[in-house]
């Protein structure tokens, strides 16, 4: 095993030794800066009691950093070509388990249960092409993860952390805020990867708090969010009126909107999570 996997020299040596070509279609941009791997592990606050699930270990640069402090790391990699390579790299490290599979088709809660893990942390340098579906399915699955720490495209990180009032604020920001307390921990320039991607990345930590509304209000809450951001230039009133599931007339809707403490011409991008929760509750009455 090379001294540090997440370096230019080690990634070059491993790809040459195993005659391995990264695939763009699998979002394969391997970390070549060990300080970034350490930053992700530090942001995840891994302790010797922690079990960690890693999505997409690649050549193991982040896996190595995670396994330095964790009790156990389960790394799920879709690329069959990498499995024997990873098993060889981590042969002497009993804390690391490598399994092959597509994370979007796997039940993370079941993976934890099979290993007797009551809770776990998730960490990943996420492949760009599945960032949003992976995050949404992890958040919605309610499996007992305590913290999700991911490196994603900077633009997605900005959307995840956005607060009301800006162009980055939208359905993704609200979904993240609904399930978690979200922090942007670090910006990572594109030259920290091989092959070099076209955009910079950022590390985001989601501390899972559990849903912030009553279960009964949840479906309507997300219907309102989708309606409000489906056509974000329109007022909330017009967005809601266009939806077939709204069985209220214009005046009644306007009264509900004002009853939430909003101006009649408010747009979705000005409404906080608490505002949407209030709206869903009033629409139900
Ligand atoms: N963790 C490594 C690193 O930081 O150097 C590699 C990160 S690379 C951005 C993304 C990794 O996710 C690749 O190894 C890729 O093969 C893997 N991957 C892509 N789609 C996946 C999926 N659906 N399920 C699991 N792994 C996936």
- pLDDT tens per residue, range 75-114: 999 999 999 999 999 999 999 999 999 999 999 999 999 9
pLDDT at 10 over 90: yes
Residues in contact with 171: Cβ distance below 8 Å, sequence separation at least 6, in sequence order: 225, 226, 229
Nearest Cα to Cα of residue 115 among 160, 52, 205:
52
Q: Is 130 in the pocket of ligand 1 (CB under 6 A)?
A: yes
Q: Is 5 in the pocket of ligand 1 (CB under 6 A)?
A: no
For residue 215, the model assigns a pLDDT of: 80
Instruction: Using pLDDT thresholds of 50, 70 and 90, give the confidence band for residue 1.
Output: low
Q: Rounded mean pLDDT of the chain?
A: 96
Domains within the chain, CATH numbers bracketed: 8-208 (3.40.50.150), 215-284 (1.10.8.100)
For residue 120, the model assigns a pLDDT of: 98
Instruction: Give 124-135 pLDDT, tens digit per residue.
Output: 999 999 999 999
pLDDT at 2 over 60: no
In ligand 1, the atom with minimum distance to the C-alpha of 31 is 5
In ligand 1, the atom with minimum distance to the C-alpha of 102 is 24
For residue 142, the model assigns a pLDDT of: 87
Q: Is 27 in the pocket of ligand 1 (CB under 6 A)?
A: yes
Instruction: Using pLDDT thresholds of 50, 70 and 90, give the confidence band for residue 200.
Output: very high
Question: Mean pLDDT over residues 185-206, rounded?
Answer: 98
Residues in contact with 172: Cβ distance below 8 Å, sequence separation at least 6, in sequence order: 132, 135, 156, 159, 160
pLDDT at 12 over 60: yes
Over pLDDT 70: what percentage of the chain?
Answer: 99
For residue 186, the model assigns a pLDDT of: 97
Task: Count Cα neighbours of 135 within 13 Å in the Cβ-side half-sphere.
Answer: 36
Question: Mean pLDDT over residues 267-285, rounded?
Answer: 95
Q: List the residue whose alpha carbon is closest to atom 14 of ligand 1.
A: 58
In order, the DSSP letters of 86-153 are HHHHTTT-TTEEEEE--GGGS-HHHHHHHTT-S-EEEEEE--GGGHHHHHHHHHHHT-SEEEEEEEEE
Pocket test for ligand 1, best of 4, 23, 25, 26 (most atoms within 8 A of CB): 26
Chain position carrying tokens 């501390």? 207
pLDDT at 224 over 80: yes
pLDDT at 3 over 80: no
pLDDT at 219 over 70: yes
pLDDT at 53 over 70: yes
For residue 109, the model assigns a pLDDT of: 97
For residue 228, how far is its CA from the centre of ligand 1 (angstroms)? Answer: 33
Element (H or E) spanning 9, and its range?
Answer: helix 8-17
In ligand 1, the atom with minimum distance to the C-alpha of 58 is 14
Q: Is 99 in the pocket of ligand 1 (CB under 6 A)?
A: no
Instruction: Using pLDDT thresholds of 50, 70 and 90, give the confidence band for residue 26.
Output: very high
Residues in contact with 181: Cβ distance below 8 Å, sequence separation at least 6, in sequence order: 206, 207, 209
Q: For residue 195, is the peptide bond before it cis, meaning its omega torsion is within 30 degrees of 0?
A: yes
Residues in contact with 18: Cβ distance below 8 Å, sequence separation at least 6, in sequence order: 85
Q: List the residue whose alpha carbon is closest to atom 19 of ligand 1.
A: 26
Nearest Cα to Cα of residue 39 among 157, 172, 155, 149:
149
pLDDT at 193 over 90: yes
Pocket test for ligand 1, best of 78, 135, 198, 200 (most atoms within 8 A of CB): 78
For residue 160, how far is its CA from the centre of ligand 1 (angstroms)? Answer: 20
Nearest Cα to Cα of residue 203 among 24, 15, 77, 65:
65
Instruction: Give 237-258 pLDDT, tens digit per residue.
Output: 999 999 989 989 999 999 999 9
């Amino acid at each position: 095993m090379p001294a540090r996997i997440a370096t230019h020299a080690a990634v070059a040596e491993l790809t040459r030794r195993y005659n391995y070509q990264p695939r763009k279609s699998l979002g394969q941009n391997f970390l070549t800066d060990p300080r970034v791997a350490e930053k992700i592990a530090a942001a995840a606050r891994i302790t010797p009691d922690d079990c960690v699930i890693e999505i997409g270990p690649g050549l193991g640069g982040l896996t190595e950093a995670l396994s330095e402090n964790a009790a156990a790391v389960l790394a799920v990699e879709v690329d069959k070509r990498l499995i024997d390579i990873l098993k060889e790299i981590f042969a002497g490290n009993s804390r690391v388990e490598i399994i092959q599979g597509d994370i979007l088709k796997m039940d993370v809660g079941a993976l934890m249960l099979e290993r007797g893990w009551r809770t776990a942390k998730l960490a990943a340098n996420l492949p760009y092409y599945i960032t949003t579906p992976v995050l949404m399915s992890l958040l919605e699955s309610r499996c007992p993860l305590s913290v999700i720490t991911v490196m994603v495209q900077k633009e997605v990180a900005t959307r995840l952390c956005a607060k009301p009032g800006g162009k980055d604020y939208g359905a993704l920001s609200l979904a993240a805020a609904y399930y978690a307390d979200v922090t942007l921990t670090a910006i990572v320039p594109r030259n920290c990867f091989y092959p070099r991607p076209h955009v910079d990345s950022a590390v985001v930590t989601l501390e899972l708090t559990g849903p912030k509304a009553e279960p009964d209000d949840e479906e309507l809450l997300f219907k309102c969010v989708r309606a409000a951001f489906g056509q974000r230039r329109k007022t909330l009133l017009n967005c809601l009126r266009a939806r077939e599931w709204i069985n209220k007339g214009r005046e009644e809707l306007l009264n509900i909107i004002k009853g939430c403490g909003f101006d009649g011409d408010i747009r979705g991008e000005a409404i906080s999570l608490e505002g949407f929760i209030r709206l869903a509750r009033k629409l139900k009455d």
